[in-house]
Amino acid sequence: MRNFLSVKDVLPLQTALALAKEVKAKPFADRELGRDKTLLMVFFNSSLRTRLSTQKAALNLGMNVIVLDINQGAWKLETERGVVMDGDKPEHILEAIPVMGCYCDIIGVRAFAGLQDRDYDYREVILNQFIQYSGKPVFSMEGATRHPLQSFADLITIEEYKKTPRPKVLLTWAPHPNALPQAVPNSFAEWMNQTDYEFVITHPEGYELDAEFVQGAVVEYDLEKAYRGADFVYAKNWSAYSGAQYGKVLHDDRRWTVDAQKMALTSNACFMHCLPVRRNMIVTDDVIESPASLVIPEAANRVVSAQTVLREILRGLL
Ligand code: CP
């Protein structure tokens, strides 16, 4: 593997899951693979899980790790070509990226959607600039449109906890006070659509996702129908995708909060969320604290997904 940006980079999924199982069973078996190799993790946005789990994954593989927070201590970067740089940004990303490439063997990048310009966001400008100008393998630590390390960890978790071969997996929109990107639900849908699970998406009208990610999934606007018989309930907020509403919070309808009443409609479903989560907006205290909540094992599997991906990229460097 050279770059890791979406599910397409690890197909077929059964192979990816088998590799993940190997990594989980023997996390220190490949310490020589990463010896004298350096991972650079570049964050344009905040993180807890991605930062720690990816760093842990690299350490398990024997790698050295450098972390750069662009907004804390680095020069402010201009990202557009053709700009007269007479403002507050002293460095251009087109010099900064090849310089970063000189100091490492693999680069992880986190660069969220700005939610101002849908076309710009959905072109994944920053991730693609790293691929084009760094000269090094690049993997996404959440881009503008996808969060593939999260979705891979989610899939590993579902495989570990499923009680039937083809579980019903429900992705539900849930309220949040701020405008959030569509990266996590887009990506989750993209990965679920590669499985043979029964996959259903529910959200209020106006929060339709990009058809490229929804593909053949059932979109059910009736909450009761959506929850009935679900084996997994995956909650996430996202802002509007469509047209002039792009990036907007249309409303924070609390009827969509995941609560015990809705979970009672399911087939004793497990609750999932990528974290961080706003309690009693997205999910009630009792649901997230219940034995059915998988949020901690899901976060733990972020090490497994990151290590599986890093291991394949390192093997590609041999
Ligand atoms: N789920 C996730 O990516 O968490 P962080 O934003 O804390 O990295």
pLDDT for res 306: 98
Q: Which amino acid is at 137?
A: P
Which of 122, 120, 129 is CA-nearest to residue 93? 129
Residues within 6 Å of ligand 1 by CB: 47-50, 142, 150, 274-276
pLDDT for res 80: 87
β-strand pairing of 106-110 with 91-92: unpaired
Domains of the chain: 7-146+302-317 (3.40.50.1370), 149-298 (3.40.50.1370)
- Give the distance (Å) from ligand 1 centre to CA of residue 112: 12
Please give the Cα distance from 22 to 142 (Å, whole number).
Answer: 24
pLDDT for res 251: 86
| Residue located via tokens 């997230």 | 288
- Ligand 1 atom with the smallest distance to the CA of 149 is 3
Please give the Cα distance from 299 to 47 (Å, whole number).
Answer: 13
| Residue located via tokens 């100091």 | 103
Of 51, 56, 142, best ligand 1 pocket probe by most atoms within 8 Å of the beta carbon: 142
pLDDT for res 252: 81
pTM, full prediction: 0.98
Whether residue 309 contacts residue 16, with contact meaning beta carbons closer than 8 Å, is answered with: no
Provide the sign of the torsion angle of the four alpha carbons 295, 300, 306, 308, taken in this order. Answer: negative
Q: Which string of DSSP letters, residue by residue, matches the chain?
A: ---B-SGGGG-SHHHHHHHHHHHHH-TTTTTTTTTT-EEEEEESS--SHHHHHHHHHHHHTT-EEEEEETTTTSPPEE-STT----SS--EEHHHHHHHHHHT-SEEEEE----SS-HHHHHTTHHHHHHHHHS-S-EEESS-SS--HHHHHHHHHHHHHH-SSSS-EEEEEE---SS---SHHHHHHHHHHTTSSSEEEEE--TT-PPPHHHHTT-EE---HHHHHTT-SEEEEE-----SGGGTT------GGGSB-HHHHTTSSSPEEE--S---BTTTB-HHHHTSTTB-HHHHHHHHHHHHHHHHHHHHHHH-
Of 47, 51, 147, 282, best ligand 1 pocket probe by most atoms within 8 Å of the beta carbon: 47
- Ligand 1 atom with the smallest distance to the CA of 50 is 8
pLDDT for res 73: 87
- Give the distance (Å) from ligand 1 centre to CA of residue 149: 10
Per-residue pLDDT of the chain (318 residues; tens, 9 = 90+): 999 999 999 999 999 999 999 999 999 999 999 999 999 999 999 999 999 999 999 999 999 999 999 999 899 999 888 999 999 999 999 999 999 999 999 999 999 999 999 999 999 999 999 999 999 999 999 999 999 999 999 999 999 999 999 999 999 999 999 999 999 999 999 999 999 999 999 999 999 999 999 999 999 999 999 999 999 999 999 999 999 999 999 988 899 999 999 999 999 999 999 999 999 999 999 999 999 999 999 999 999 999 999 999 999 999
